[in-house]
Each structure stands twice: as structure tokens, then as C-alpha cells.
Amino acid sequence: MLVESGSIVTNDILSDDVRCMVIQVPSIAAEAEPGQFVMVKNENGGTFLRRPFGIADVDREQGRILLIYRVAGKGTQELAGLEPTMELSVEGPLGGGFRFESDGLEAGGRTLLIGGGVGVAPMIYTARRLAELEPANKPVFLLGIRNEGELFWQDYLKDFTEEIIVTTNDGSAGIKGFAIDAMPEILSRYDIRHIKICGPTIMMEGLAKLAMEQGIECQVSLEKRMACGVGVCLGCTFEGMISGKRWKICHDGPVFPAEEVFEK
């Protein structure tokens, strides 16, 4: 956990409103685990607070991390305007990341990764890690996107996944509907033992409930507006469903067991 001045390597357009940025931050890259995030700040820009982004992928050899971000407001607009060689202040890696449990996987069980919208970003690195941990038993990926314009995610995922099942809101690619609509088929075709999700709360809620009903171990990655990212401002807390504890998403998460977040 440190603040590192990073040099922007690339900052490219993936779709209308999604960009990908590679940043040279060797110390952070050396530590970053799947599911962790960074807080970035353009020191020459007009915004005050840092902005949080999931670590989409890591190249430890080159000392680089990948961010994939949607242009949502002033801060991300400014990010989109930065050019290679410019500097960006990066704080991280923050939070704890996903827990990897292997029970059930020896016997042909699978991990299902689910990403919705820009929530797919941290799932890339997560998929890579799973594929590295068990090359013979790569995760299945359920990709919930708005339309075919967002199929670029597949390019990042294909090497690390057994199969990518796509749902689009408008049916322009894959199954028409929401991610959850693909679940019956996935559960019938695979022996899913673990589910890890990052996406909009409403999407995660439905999927997590389904997982809990089916008794599948499920972790969700939460998001809330953050000011500090390190557990001091208390902007991002919530009350654990089971423990009753006040959790800080930035510090204790962003990944939590589904049971601690959503009612069964």
C-alpha cells in the first residue's frame, strides 16, 4: 500500500465511453492481487479527490497495471484526456481482493466469474489468476453487457476462461437479457462450486441470492463512493448482514462473502 507516481504507457479507446489505460507502477504491480483496486489522481487536473478503479490486470515483469474505465463524469473525462508519458499518481494496491478456495475443484467443479458493465475489469485479473492456479480447470465467465459494442471484454478474457457466456440487454450479442437469465443453462452444463461477481448492485443481488439458494460459495465485489480508499473517512461503510459488523468496503473489502451483503 503506497503512493506511486506512474507513467502512462497507453490510454486507448475500447468503446464509446470505455477506455483502457496501462500505467507503469512497478511497486504497486509487484503487490497487486486480483480484486484489489487503486485510487488515482491527476495532479495537474481540476478534480480534488482521487478516483477508485479496479485493477483489471497486472504485468509484474514489466511493472505495469491495466485499468479499464468508463467515462462517467469530470474525473474520468480528465483521465481520458491524458496521453502516454504523462504522470498519474496511483495509490494502492487497496483492499483485500478475492479469496481463492479450491474445494470442489479437484472433482471437476468449476469457478464461475461474473462481470457486469465496467465491473468486468477486476474479473480479468481474477480470471488470469484462476487460469494460472489451475490451468486445466479454467473458470467459466458470464459477461453481462449492454450491447455488442462492449464485446471487447472477450479479447481480454478468452485466454483465461473455459467459455464466455454473453448476455446483452438488447440481444445484439449472446443471450438477450440480464446475466441472471443465463444462469439456468450454466448451472445445468457446469458443476459450479464457486462464484465471484463484480457488477451493479442490483445484478449482484439477484445472482448472489441464486448462489446462496443453490449453496454455492459466492463472493461479491462492492462499490460505493469513496473519499479516502484506506478506511479513514467512513464514506463507504455498511453493516454486515450476518456479523452485524460495520465493514469498510475500501479496507475490509471490496470483496465480501455474499451472505454478509445480501439477505438470503
Partner 1 sequence: MNFERLATDFAGIKMKTPVMGASGTFGFGIEYKDFLNLGDVGAIISKGLTPLPRSGNNGVRVAETPGGMLNCIGLENPGIDVFLRDILPKVRQEAPDTAFIANFSAGTVEDYGMMAAKLDVDGVDGVEVNISCPNVKEGGIVFGTDPRAAAAVTEAVKKNTKKPVIVKLSPNVTDITVMAKAVEEAGADAIALINTLTGMVIDIRTRRPLLGNITGGLSGPAVKPIAVRMVWQVAQAVKIPILGLGGITCGEDAVEFLLAGASAVAVGAENFVHPDAVVRVAEDIDAYLEAVGLKHVSELVGQVRI
Ligand X SMILES: Cc1cc2nc3c(=O)[nH]c(=O)nc-3n(C[C@H](O)[C@H](O)[C@H](O)COP(=O)(O)OP(=O)(O)OC[C@H]3O[C@@H](n4cnc5c(N)ncnc54)[C@H](O)[C@@H]3O)c2cc1C
* Among positions 19, 37, 52, 91, the unique one binding partner 1 when judged by CB under 8 A: 91
Site for ligand X in 182-211 (CB under 6 A): none
Per CB under 8 A, does 49 bind partner 1?
A: yes
Phi, psi for residue 125 in degrees, rounded to 5: -65, -35
Q: Is 228 in the site for partner 1 (CB under 8 A)?
A: yes
41 near partner 1, judged by CB under 8 A: yes
Position among 11, 42, 76, 167 found at the interface with ligand X (CB under 6 A): 76
Phi, then psi, of 90 in degrees rounded to 5: -120, 130
CB 109, min distance to partner 1, A:
37
The site for a copy of itself (CB under 8 A) is made up of 44-46, 78, 81, 83
Distance of closest approach, residue 247 Cβ to a copy of itself, in angstroms: 34
Which residues is 7 bridged to in the sheet?
Answer: 24, 87
Give the Cα separation of 238 and 47 in Å (integer).
26
Is residue 248 at the binding interface for ligand X, with CB under 6 A as the rule?
Answer: no
Q: Is 231 in the site for partner 1 (CB under 8 A)?
A: yes
Choose between 61 and 83: whose C-beta lies nearer to a copy of itself: 83
Report what 231 binds from a copy of itself, ligand FES, ligand X, none; CB cut-off 5-8 Å by kind: ligand FES
Q: Which does 81 bind (CB under 5 to 8 A by kind): ligand X, partner 1, a copy of itself, none?
A: a copy of itself
